[in-house]
Amino acid sequence: MSETTKALFKDALYQVLDNKVFRLLVILGLVLVLPTFLIAAKPEQLVVLFGWRTYEYSDVLGWFNIPMPADPEASHATLILYAQNLLVDQLAGTFGLVFAIAATAFFVPRMVEKGAADTIFSKPVSRGALLMSRYLAGLLFVAILATVLVVGMHVGLLLNSGFSDAGFLWSIPVMIYKYGILHAFSLLIAVLTRSSVAAILTTLMFFAFNGCVHGAWQIKEAQIQRFREQVEAGEEPEGDDPSDLIDGLIVTLDVLHYTLPKTNDAAVISQSLRQALAERRTVFKDPVSGLKVADHPEDMQPLPVSEADLPVIARWGSDEAEKAGTRVTLKRWPLSERKRTEALQELEQRLEDMGIQQVEKDRSHILGNGAPTRSWSEPRGEQTFRCETTFFIAKGQLFGLEFEAPIDPAVGNEQDFWKWRFREGFEIEGVARRHEDAFSTQASWSAELKFNLWFSIGSTLLFVALTLALAWWRLSRIDF
Amino acid sequence: MVTSETSIRVQGLSKTYSRRLFKKGFKALDDVSIEVGRGSVFGLLGPNGAGKTTLIKILLGLVRDFEGQASLFDEPAGSVASRRRVGYLPEAHRLPTYLTGRQVMELFGQMCGRDMGFLRERIPTLLEKVGMAKDADRKMREYSKGMMQRIGLAQALIHEPELVFLDEPTDGVDPIGRAAIREIVMDLKSRGVTIFINSHLLMEVELMCDRVVIMDHGRILRQGTIEELTPRTGVAEFTIPMPNPEVERLLAGLGRDFAFTTRGFDIAVTDDELDQCVDRLRAAGISVRGILSRRLNLEQAFIGLVKQEGWK
């Protein structure tokens, strides 16, 4: 490393360490880290202040309106992941970055102001290198803060809760990445205007505008996809065809989305990197659709299924005497062969033929899409069975999920609870659990271009490089 | 130690600041040519807006897009290679307030390619020289104007440059500090360092510089040695033992503008008349202790020249 490079790095570090907002943010970061040392999220319950108070996860998750996971033993992990996401991705990743932008926006204006510029630009260092040292100072600013927050929380959770999620550490580079985009833009404005105020205001406006553009683009994509799926399923689409929106609007959104840096994707990148490290539990995987089931239905075991059983692809049953006859069956048909409306009509016709008059119709959601459900009671010998069939669509396939269990007052509402939790364990890569999550679910390293994370990062870095090049070009032409 | 080598060579240099929206363009330099020999102390004088700072900034690469030629040590002016051999103390400079005086010197020393081994030896010596050894570890924001100026000078010299530009080096410095800076300049000169001084304090310039250029409105009005720029006034300043009213009568008919002074008298005379004055005084038994042929000082010469050009 040359002496000049060392000097510029040291200068960047000194500049950051002397910054009052930086010191304040370090303290705030430590305040956020502190609870991880005081509250232990043990697998069985939440322990506050080394045993002073304890709380059940069903209560705690309920307070925050967080769904219980399919596996109750994963409750503490669910709560921790929620807290990490809230504090790091949401709080630090948004408000923290706004503070960081405001605190570092003066780096370049102060360097180019009269008196300071004469001294520094007369040194045998290129203007480009000096500009990059200011860029580096900003990155260091956020890197140190992100490290304090993320590593602090990680160590706290490890020591106090015995919980370790190495993937959480990916939040550090992702926060630097997100800030790096905005800092490059701030630098450009600072060079053009030589004003900190202009740099702060314009960068924040750009941040908000950028967020709106990508948010609108994601909504547009989700609406188009939803419309197509409904048409493909042979159903009456909800609402008008989004493709009928003004052509100009769609083209503008597409152009802006492809060219602007994708700040919104930072959270998705962070999640994807974490998932890449995490081992996901899967008890069943359908090779055709990619549908995964995280856990067996409660108190049930998988039953053997062969090719000859198609359309049945998975089946579970119970060994317990009081649950004898309880079955969960998963069926699959290609949508090209069987539409959902046809499947529903056939079921209703069969029930009518069986003389079952009372059929309850309902509509729930599985994997982010509407899933019509039919429930009925069916006498079988001396027993009466409660049956339920739900049809849902994903990846060009129609799935039928059937529950049947003898009516037993001892089972009661619990029956509904395990069914719900079992459905929560469904997952297909690229299919969102909620419609609002359509983008984050589809975006991945291997997805098609518009959802591809490599493209997202590549196009963003290109934008950053062009922005810095423009700032360097302008700086090199200034007469001090 | 002035050598025949050239440190600065400027030929036909012109700089016009281009017109901007709501701003008129103007010509800051107009066909300026100068040469500064290695090891000399060169003074640049001129009223405000004369183009002095623009000239220095072009030489240091702070101002670009000029016409003509400018080089330092035969390297194009403003190039990284030429800047490596140059130190600069700008007028009204601002050093990074987040650093201490010592850190400023380390930073700029390393930026000029010097390693920490060299700097650890060099910094204490320089701090001592500029009288900042005690305050070197305080943050720049705590410094007074004079202290800033001293550290500014030290940072300009940190990498042992061969050419130093000093823009108003004594600005804000107390008399003791000014004397110290003069001493440093003379020490640098003795080591063969070329010094380029831009100052409004003409006394300082007169005391330190070998050659001076006087500029106005972007043009060079005059350049030369201090002697060449400060002509004799023709007034002879006589020193005699005690006030003697007889002297005026003795010298009647010789010269003009006779006037008594505390040490003797002044009289404007030609060289022939000066001899006759001495003869008459000696014949009258009056001892002549000293005769000084009075010259214009640099300030008088400068004001006279600038006013004369301004009236043209």
Domains, chain A: 3-277+444-476 (no CATH), 284-427 (3.40.1000.10)
Lowest mean pLDDT of A9-23, A192-206, A407-421, B145-159, name the range.
Answer: A407-421
Burial of A79 (0-12, 13-18, 19+ CB in 10 A): buried
Comparing A478 with A437, the larger pLDDT belongs to A478
Q: What is the pLDDT of residues A358-370, one digit of tens each?
A: 888 887 777 767 7
Q: Is the ipTM of this complex over 0.85?
A: no
Q: Which of A11, A115, A123 comes nearest B112 by C-beta?
A: A123
Closest Cα in chain A to B105: A7
Residue B2: per-residue pLDDT = 47
Q: What is the pLDDT of residues A126-152, one digit of tens each?
A: 999 999 999 999 999 999 999 999 999
Cβ of A344 under 8 Å from any chain B Cβ?
A: no
Show the tokens assigned to A406: 């003898």
Based on DSSP, count helices (H) and strands (E) in chain B, helices before strands.
11, 14
With a cut of 70, say whether residue A112 has pLDDT above it: yes
CA distance A122 to B59: 9
Q: What is the DSSP annotation of A349-391?
A: HHHHHTT----EEEEEEETTEEEEEEEEEEEETTEEEEEEEEE
CA distance B68 to A274: 61
Residue B49: per-residue pLDDT = 85
Per the listing, tokens 């991705």 go with A89
Q: How far is CA B201 from the centre of its chain?
A: 8
By percentage, how much of chain A surpasses pLDDT 70? Answer: 92
Which residues partner with B43 through β-bridges? B197, B212
Q: Which of B90, B98, B110 comes nearest A118 by C-beta?
A: B90
Burial of A468 (0-12, 13-18, 19+ CB in 10 A): buried
Closest Cα in chain B to A121: B62
Q: How confident is the model at residue B76 (pLDDT cuts 50, 70, 90)?
A: very high
Query: Using the beta-carbon criterion (under 8 Å), do B80 and A2 form an inter-chain contact?
Result: no
With a cut of 90, say whether residue A457 has pLDDT above it: yes
Q: Look up residue A444 and give its DSSP letter.
A: B
Comparing B172 with A352, the larger pLDDT belongs to A352
Residue A411: per-residue pLDDT = 54
Omega cis (within 30) before A311: yes
Q: Which of A8, A18, A118 comes nearest B93 by C-beta?
A: A118
User: Any idea of the CA torsion for A168, A171, A172, A175, to the nearest 10 degrees?
Assistant: -170
Cβ of A4 under 8 Å from any chain B Cβ?
A: yes
**What residues of chain B lie within 8 A of the CB of A473, using their CB?**
none
**How close does chain A come to B258, measured CA to CA in Å?**
52
With a cut of 70, say whether residue B4 has pLDDT above it: no
Lowest mean pLDDT of A196-210, B37-51, B285-299, name the range.
Answer: B285-299
Q: Which of A14, A122, A479 comes nearest B103 by C-beta?
A: A14
Query: Using the beta-carbon criterion (under 8 Å), do A118 and B98 form an inter-chain contact?
Result: no
Residue B310: per-residue pLDDT = 62
With a cut of 60, say whether residue B199 has pLDDT above it: yes
CA distance A112 to A192: 11
Q: What is the pLDDT of residues A76-105, one digit of tens each?
A: 888 888 888 888 888 888 888 999 999 999
Closest Cα in chain A to B152: A119
Indicate the average pLDDT of chain A.
85
With a cut of 80, say whether residue B31 has pLDDT above it: yes
Lowest mean pLDDT of A221-230, A468-477, B51-60, B179-188, name the range.
Answer: A221-230
CA distance B240 to B289: 5
Over residues A32-49, the mean pLDDT reads: 89
With a cut of 70, say whether residue A278 has pLDDT above it: no
CA distance B164 to B157: 7
**What residues of chain B lie within 8 A of the CB of A3, using their CB?**
110-111, 113-115
Q: What is the pLDDT of residues A260-277, one digit of tens each?
A: 999 988 888 888 887 776
CA distance A300 to A322: 12
Q: Which of B57, B92, B155 comes nearest A480 by C-beta?
A: B57
Residue B87: per-residue pLDDT = 95
Query: Using the beta-carbon criterion (under 8 Å), do A3 and B113 form an inter-chain contact?
Result: yes
Query: Taking a C-beta distance cutoff of 8 angstroms, is the pair B177, B270 a contact?
Result: no
Over residues A226-233, the mean pLDDT reads: 74
Lowest mean pLDDT of A162-176, A449-463, B140-154, B294-308, name the range.
Answer: B294-308
Q: What is the pLDDT of residues A60-73, one digit of tens each?
A: 888 887 777 666 67
Residue A214: per-residue pLDDT = 92
